[in-house]
Amino acid sequence: MVNVEYINRAAWLRNRIAEYDYWYYVKDAPLVPDAEYDKLFRELQALEEQYPELIIDDSPTRRVGGKPLDIFPQVAHIVSMLSIRTETDISEQGAIAFDARVRKELGLTDTDPPVEYACELKFDGLAINLQYRQGVLVLAATRGDGVVGEVVTQNIRTIRQIPLRLTGCDAQVLEVRGEVYMARPDFERYNQRQREQGLPTLVNPRNGAAGSIRQLDPALAAKRPLSFFAYGVGEVAGWDKPATHAAMLDALAAMNVPVCDERAVVQGAQGLVGFHRRIEEMRDRLPFDIDGVVYKVNRIALQEQLGFVSREPRWAVAHKFAAEEAVTTLLDIDVQVGRTGALTPVARLAPVFVGGVTVTNATLHNEDEIRRKDVRIGDKVVVRRAGDVIPEIARVVLQDRPDDVREFVMPTLCPVCGSHVARELDAAVWRCTGGLFCPAQRKQALLHFSGRRAMDIDGLGDKLVEQLVDAHLVSTPADLYRLDLDSIGRLERMGEKSAFNLLDAIEKSRHTTLARFIFALGIRNVGEATAKDLASHFGSLEKLQAADAEHLQQVRDVGPVVAQSLVDFFAEAHNRAVIEQLRSLGVHWDEHETQPDKPLPLAGKTFVLTGTLASLSRQQAKEALESLGAKVAGSVSKKTDYVVAGIDSGSKLERATELNIAVLNESEFLLLIEG
Question: What are the sequence ranges of the domains in the chain?
Answer: 4-55, 85-320, 325-400, 458-598, 606-674
SS3 state at 300: helix
Give the residue, 84 or 130, on which the prediction is more confident. 130
The answer to whether the CB of 350 falls within 8 A of the CB of 331 is yes
**Dist. CA 646–CA 107, nearest whole Å:** 82
**Dist. CA 610–CA 616, nearest whole Å:** 13
Q: DSSP letter at 331?
A: E
* Residue 356 confidence (pLDDT): 67
- Residue/partner pairs of 295-298 with CB below 8 Å, 24 or more apart: 295/95, 295/98, 295/117, 295/118, 295/119, 295/319, 296/117, 296/118, 296/119, 296/120, 296/245, 297/102, 297/115, 297/116, 297/117, 297/118, 297/245, 298/116, 298/117, 298/118, 298/244, 298/245, 298/246, 298/265
* Residue 599 confidence (pLDDT): 66
Residue 172, CA distances (Å) to 130, 137, 236, 421 in order = 14, 12, 8, 65
Say yes or no to pLDDT of 675 above 80.
no
**Dist. CA 640–CA 500, nearest whole Å:** 46
Average pLDDT over residues 184-188: 88
pLDDT band at 58 (very low <50, low <70, confident <90, very high): confident
Q: Cβ atoms within 10 A of the Cβ of 2, count?
A: 13
Quickly count helices (H) and strands (E) in the chain: 24, 26
* Residue 549 confidence (pLDDT): 93
* Residue 440 confidence (pLDDT): 94
**Dist. CA 504–CA 460, nearest whole Å:** 12
**Dist. CA 211–CA 428, nearest whole Å:** 25
Most confident of 32-36, 502-506, 628-632: 502-506
**Dist. CA 168–CA 87, nearest whole Å:** 38
32-42 exposure pattern, b = at least 16 Cβ within 10 A, e = fewer: eeeeebeebbe
Say yes or no to pLDDT of 387 above 70.
no
The answer to whether the CB of 346 falls within 8 A of the CB of 292 is no
* Residue 26 confidence (pLDDT): 64
Give the residue, 271 or 43, on which the prediction is more confident. 271
Quick one: residue 607, left, alpha or beta (phi over 0 = left, psi -120 to 50 = alpha)? Answer: beta
* Residue 662 confidence (pLDDT): 92
Q: What percent of the chain has pLDDT over 90?
A: 51
Average pLDDT over residues 593-607: 70
* Residue 70 confidence (pLDDT): 62
When the pLDDT of each residue in the chain is averaged and rounded to a whole number, the result is: 88
* Residue 24 confidence (pLDDT): 66
70 CB burial (10 A radius; 0-12, 13-18, 19+): exposed
Digit-coded pLDDT (tens) for 515-525: 999 999 999 98
CATH classification of 458-598, choosing from 3.10.20.600, 1.10.150.20, 3.30.2020.30, 2.30.29.30? 1.10.150.20
At position 45, the amino acid (one-letter code) is: Q
Least confident of 154-163, 262-271, 423-432: 423-432
Give the residue, 38 or 294, on which the prediction is more confident. 294
| CATH architecture for segment(s) 325-400 | Beta Barrel (2.40)
The answer to whether the CB of 140 falls within 8 A of the CB of 62 is no
* Cα torsion 472, 475, 480, 481: sign: negative
85-320: same fold as 4-55? Answer: no
* Residue 386 confidence (pLDDT): 60
For 51-147, list the strands marked E by DSSP. 74-76, 85-87, 116-123, 126-133, 136-142
Say yes or no to pLDDT of 1 above 80.
no
Among 388, 396, 390, 384, residue whose Cα is nearest residue 336: 390
Least confident of 213-217, 391-395, 419-423: 213-217
Could you tell me the fold of the domain covering 606-674?
Answer: Rossmann fold (3.40.50)
* Residue 568 confidence (pLDDT): 94
Residue 229, CA distances (Å) to 152, 315, 441 in order = 17, 21, 43
Residue 249, CA distances (Å) to 258, 262, 558 in order = 9, 12, 58
395 CB burial (10 A radius; 0-12, 13-18, 19+): middle
Q: Catalogue the active-site residues.
A: 122
**Dist. CA 117–CA 275, nearest whole Å:** 11
- Residue/partner pairs of 529-533 with CB below 8 Å, 24 or more apart: 529/557, 529/626, 529/631, 530/555, 530/557, 530/558, 530/562, 532/626, 532/627, 533/557, 533/558
| CATH architecture for segment(s) 4-55 | Orthogonal Bundle (1.10)
CATH class, 85-320 region: alpha beta
* Residue 3 confidence (pLDDT): 82
* Residue 575 confidence (pLDDT): 95
For every residue of 222-250, DSSP letters joined together read HTS--EEEEEEEEEEESS---SBHHHHHH
pLDDT band at 376 (very low <50, low <70, confident <90, very high): very high
* Residue 57 confidence (pLDDT): 75
Digit-coded pLDDT (tens) for 96-108: 999 999 999 999 9
Average pLDDT over residues 439-446: 94
Give the strand pairing for 606-610 and 631-633: parallel
Give the strand pairing for 116-123 and 290-297: antiparallel
Residue 468, CA distances (Å) to 155, 441, 578, 583, 647 in order = 55, 14, 18, 21, 44
Digit-coded pLDDT (tens) for 192-208: 888 777 777 887 787 78
Phi, psi of 301 (to 5 degrees): -60, -40
Say yes or no to pLDDT of 596 above 80.
no
* Residue 667 confidence (pLDDT): 87
* Residue 592 confidence (pLDDT): 54
pLDDT band at 63 (very low <50, low <70, confident <90, very high): low
Average pLDDT over residues 392-406: 90
Least confident of 63-67, 267-271, 379-383: 63-67
pTM across the whole model: 0.53
**Dist. CA 160–CA 31, nearest whole Å:** 15
Give the residue, 66 or 667, on which the prediction is more confident. 667
Say yes or no to pLDDT of 350 above 80.
yes
Digit-coded pLDDT (tens) for 258-298: 999 999 999 999 999 999 999 988 887 888 988 889 999 99
